[in-house]
Structure 1
Amino acid sequence: MNRISFEELLDDRTRTRAWEDFLAFAEVFDPLMVEEISCIIPIPDQLGVLIIAENEVFINRYTAAVTLQQFALAHNFPDYNTLCSVLKDTGYFGKYKIPWVCPYFALCPLEGGTHSVWVNPLKIDNIYSVDGLHYIQLLNGIKLTSPVKRYYALLRGELACGILAAIRQEKFHFTMPGHRPIDYLTLPNTAFAHSLAKRPLLEAFVTRKGELHRRYQHARFLHYYESLETDPQNLHWENWQ
């Protein structure tokens, strides 16, 4: 696979020379060839997204939402729409800008709507501002323009990491014993991670162990039960999870 070995700045609103370099460098997105995603960036003036996974880069002609759906289906991860509904119903994680979470990592949207950068908060080195503009530097050296200030990105990252820790506690409680959310996270030694570690959602769990799993399974059962009643011929059993 192609690997990134250079530092660049990507602006999701403006097509620059850096974009041309990345797009020429990128491979076609195959969800089975990707493990942990660092970020997903909409391509300016073109339908599609750039997916950065560690030091590799891929291109997909669909939106970030569809890309995450493809990735989740390929790896049998939770359905995003169902998980969103479950998280909202708990009353602890807000009602909008819900992160995408699987047992291994999380991605948080920096904005609402379809045009948003999705970033893995544990892959952020730091967020800083220059002349009133905000930038994200990833651990691999890539820099992104940020539509939000550091504080609001920190809130989005806190939410993503808090949910990730809750899911890990439920799934890996035999192999990853712990008492606080932060016990279930591997935080890098970065300025951004140091700030994350002080956030309340990483200090104490707000849901009971097993609560998210039970809610999710109940929601999926209702979804497929309704589909079975209304249109059984179009029920795709391979999507059941």
Structure 2
Amino acid sequence: MSTVDAKCKFRNGVYYFDEYGESPIWDITLTNAEPFIPLDIKEIDCILPNPYEQGSLIIASDRYYYSDKNPFEALQEYAADYSFADYTVMSSCLRSFGSFGGYKSPWLNPFFALCPLEGISNTLWINPLRIHELEYYEGQLFATFHSGQIICLPIQLRSAMQRIDVTCLAFATLRRECFYFTNRGDRPSHYLPMSDSPFSNKLAKRPLLETFSIPYGKLTKRYNEALLFHSYTKLEYDMLQKDLF
């Protein structure tokens, strides 16, 4: 599939995952990856599209899993197995508020969130709170995760931070409504399970994470209403299809 290429080494000599499959780490990792079983994974660091064929690589800490589905389909399977929120319905809710972006929404559950970053051929999903550092090296943007894995991101820093900010704001909003906190903070950053890392320390100071954009309880209320409407619409459609055939 790929050949050893000095371009695919980070400054510490460690190979990184690139978008095009030029790094030799792809071959090694895909060969040794475990089958993707959602209930075996508590938290996802990132989901990368397979650069060679249909499928995706799921990284969870220092373990690797392979799925023959694309990243979004694998994520949908994970959400279904855990009975997490429906992505389509949650995306519609987030967009309706006007403060969580209007393009591709983050994927949320009460325990972690994934931020979508688009490459040329596919979208990868990263967990912002598992990033140790985000930095440029030789003109490209790299994310180093707590596990030591390094990924070359197909996006500029400013765009990446905008999407990460929105993801963390939405995640904090959901956590504030889903969990009981003895001491409730007034900043979104107070509800994020951040580590003591260079990236998290910078993230905690981001302007978008200083104030909540919607009142307490609004997100889950609107989601439940939208889910009811979505379920009713689907039921009507299924009944119509049954009558037709």
Give the alignment's TM-score, normalised by structure 2.
0.88
Deviates more, 1:7-16 or 1:163-172: 7-16
Looking at structure 2, the residues matched to 202 and 134 of structure 1 have their Cα atoms a distance apart, in angstroms, of 23
Measure, in 1, the Cα distance between the counterparts of 2:177 and 2:168: 14
The reply to whether residue 141 of structure 1 matches residue 145 of structure 2 is: no
Equivalent position of 1:220 in the other structure? 227
The answer to whether the 8 A contact 1:137-1:143 is kept is yes
User: Which residue of the other structure, out of 167, 191, 211, is the alignment partner of 1:184?
Assistant: 191
Question: Residue 231 of structure 1 aligns to a residue in which SS?
Answer: helix
Alignment correspondent of 1:162: 169
- 2:236 alignment partner in structure 1: 229
Q: Secondary structure at the match of 1:24?
A: helix
- 1:86 pairs with 2:79: no
CA distance in 2, matches of 1:191, 1:234: 54
- Segments of 5+ residues of structure 2 without an aligned counterpart are 1-13
- Provide the secondary structure at the position in 1 that maps to 2:118: coil
TM-align CA RMSD = 2.1
Q: When the two structures are aligned, how many residues end up with a matched partner? A: 230
Tell me the alpha carbon deviations over residues 171-219 of structure 1, each in whole angstroms, 9 at most, x when there is no partner: 1134563222111112122222122111123111111111111111111
* Residue 39 (1) aligns with residue 46 (2): yes
Whether 2:109 is the aligned partner of 1:109: answer no
User: What amino acid is aligned across from residue 105 of structure 1 in structure 2?
Assistant: F
Equivalent pairs: percent with the same residue? 37
Match of 2:73 among 42, 45, 66: 66
- Between 161-170 and 110-119, report the one with greater CA deviation: 110-119
Aligned to 1:54: 61
Which runs of 5 or more residues in structure 1 are unaligned?
Answer: 1-6, 236-241
SS at match of 1:207: coil
For residue 12 of structure 1, what is the aligned residue in structure 2?
A: 19
Distance in 2 separating the partners of 1:34 and 1:62: 17
State the secondary structure of the residue aligned to 1:169: helix
Larger radius of gyration: 2
CA distance in 1, matches of 2:165, 2:172: 10
Q: What does 1:189-208 align with in structure 2 at a 5 Å threshold? A: 189-208=196-215
User: How far apart are residue 53 of structure 1 and its match?
Assistant: 0.7
Q: Is the 8 A contact 2:15 2:23 kept in 1?
A: no
Partner Cα distance (1:84, 1:227) in 2:
17
In structure 1, the residue matched to 2:180 is: 173
1:157 aligned partner, one-letter code? I
Letter in 1 for 2:53: Q
CA distance in 2, matches of 1:143, 1:96: 26
CA distance in structure 2 between the partners assigned to 1:160 and 1:112 by the alignment: 18
1:118–1:211 CA distance, 2 compared to 1 (3 A): same
